[in-house]
């Protein structure tokens, strides 16, 4: 097997194991799932699975890294293609929501469960926690850059606290995902985010002086 074919085989096998693990984590629970069960689900030997992922935590770290890379690619592409006078913050929020746009309700719920599991395990496992914190830090840096660019362009008031607004924007989508998952009802994400953007824009936009009335 050529080196290229070998690398492709390893990448495919790594993905197959990861898909099997996430399926079991969601259906059986993270703590109840064993490496042997993951190997059986993926169709590989128990020994082979350790070549790719030495622990279950390593699988969660891989999922975290994959999701972060995917979201950054979506956001960077979205922001790069916008016209100069576009609302960057609103476009970024809609791009974040759009990652679920073409998914079935079942697949969206599965991804939300994995996200919730990642956040929980981040409080119990230092390695997973480090991966999750790194992703949040990268998102935070991107949101800060967008807000400051909007302030410089005059779309957001100069007196708005950038750090506070950033934390709020990072927390809101995760809170909405948790509400949707806990309530069992589908959230109309485009409408929710559109409403949120409208509210933010009315509160964040600079106050325009009223024209003086004639006479």
pLDDT value of residue 96: 67
Domains, in order of start, for the chain: 1-54 (1.10.10.60), 57-204 (1.10.357.10)
Q: Using pLDDT thresholds of 50, 70 and 90, give the confidence band for residue 84.
A: low
CA distance 73 to 64: 14
* Range with lowest mean pLDDT among 23-27, 37-41, 179-183, 187-191: 187-191
Q: Using pLDDT thresholds of 50, 70 and 90, give the confidence band for residue 111.
A: confident
User: Cα 107–113–117 angle (5° rounding)?
Assistant: 145
Render pLDDT for 19-52 as a digit per residue (tens, 0 to 9): 999 999 989 999 999 999 999 999 999 998 999 9
In the chain, helix, strand, coil percent, each to 5? 75, 0, 25
Q: Given a cut of 50, is residue 215 above it in pLDDT?
A: no
Mean pLDDT value of segment 74-87: 71
Would you tell me how many other CB atoms lie within 10 Å of the CB of residue 135?
Answer: 19
């Amino acid at each position: 097997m050529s080196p290229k074919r070998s690398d492709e085989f390893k990448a495919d096998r790594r993905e197959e194991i990861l898909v099997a693990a996430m399926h079991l984590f969601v259906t059986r629970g993270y703590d109840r799932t064993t490496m042997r069960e993951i190997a059986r689900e993926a169709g590989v030997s128990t020994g082979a699975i350790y070549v790719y992922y030495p622990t279950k935590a390593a699988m969660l770290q891989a999922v975290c890294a994959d999701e972060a890379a995917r979201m950054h690619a979506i956001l960077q592409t979205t922001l790069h293609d916008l016209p100069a006078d576009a609302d960057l913050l609103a476009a970024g929020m809609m791009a974040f929501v759009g990652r679920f746009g073409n998914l079935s309700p079942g697949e969206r719920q599965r991804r939300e469960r994995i996200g919730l599991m990642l956040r929980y395990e981040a409080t119990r496992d230092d390695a997973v926690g480090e991966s999750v914190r790194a992703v949040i830090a990268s998102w935070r840096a991107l949101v800060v850059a967008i807000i400051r660019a909007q302030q410089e362009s005059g779309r957001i008031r100069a007196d708005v606290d950038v750090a506070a607004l950033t934390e709020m924007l990072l927390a809101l989508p995760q809170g909405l995902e948790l509400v949707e998952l806990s309530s069992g009802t589908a959230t109309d994400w485009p409408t929710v985010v559109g409403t949120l953007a409208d509210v933010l824009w009315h509160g964040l936009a600079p106050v325009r002086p009223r024209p003086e009335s004639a006479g």
